[in-house]
Amino acid sequence: MDEVRLEREQDGTVAVLLLDRPTKRNAMTMAMYAEISGLLQEIDADDRIRVGIIHGIGGKAFTAGADLLDVHTGGAAEAWHPAHADRFDSGLEVHTPLIAAIEGYCLAGGLELALVCDIRVTGEDSQFGTPEVKWNLLHGFGAQLLPGIVGRSNALYLLLTGQFIGAQEALRLGLVQEVVPAGTSLDRARELAATISANAPMAVAMTKELVARSRDLNLQDGLRLYHAYNALIHASEDVAEGTQAFAQKRQPRFRGC
């Protein structure tokens, strides 16, 4: 059985990326890192897919992170080359909305994978942490994302202690958006995906892009970007469909254009 696979649901508008290595708590080998990243790019390239979900099989772990014996073997340094965003842990951009459905351990590189998602839903028994410092390793990309999500001091608390926190504490910090009964995070993620998929695809895509691009802009430049996107929205067929559906009190039939 493949350790990483992609399944399409809800008439092909939702893609579920599954990590299926439960005997190793879904720990990721170098091959899995590459495959996950490739499948995320496949999700992004398919206009029919409106939402992606990432989930770890088995209930014990979303993923416990990198398989240390496979990924961090030590020895002679590899030849240096400029970094480029070809993996999820090195800045790969995914424009399709992503939801992490988390059960069990979500640690180290596994937390990085969850952090690149836009929404995180977790079972109530899950544990989160960045234990890399215990093994003389760096959390890397996640250390750059985490402060913007939970705040600088909360991020440093996790990064420097290596301690784990539970689902309710993760919710308090804003690390996750919902805590659900254990074993139901994937079901809840599917419900959220259906809600997002029913919205206007152009507006959803532009909203995520606006959030991403505005992060490093001042307010005035962010508003200029908004006005540019808004002009495209108002020139689309879907804006007319959306307003007519509102006036007629019916569900809109969006075409994505």
Which phi and psi (to 5°) does residue 66 adopt?
-70, 145
Active site residue 35: no
Kindly name the residue from 7, 42, 132, 169 that is annotated as catalytic: 132
Distances 14 to 54, 93, 112, 196, 213 between C-alpha atoms, Å? 11, 18, 22, 10, 24
Task: Round to whole Å and give the CA distance between 138 and 46.
Answer: 33
Which residues lie closer than 8 Å to 43 by C-beta, 6 or more apart? 6, 15, 17, 49, 52, 94, 96
Reading phi first (left if > 0) and then psi (alpha if -120 to 50, else beta), residue 65 is in left
Active site residue 132: yes
Kindly name the residue from 7, 112, 178, 209 that is annotated as catalytic: 112
Residues serving a catalytic function are 112, 132
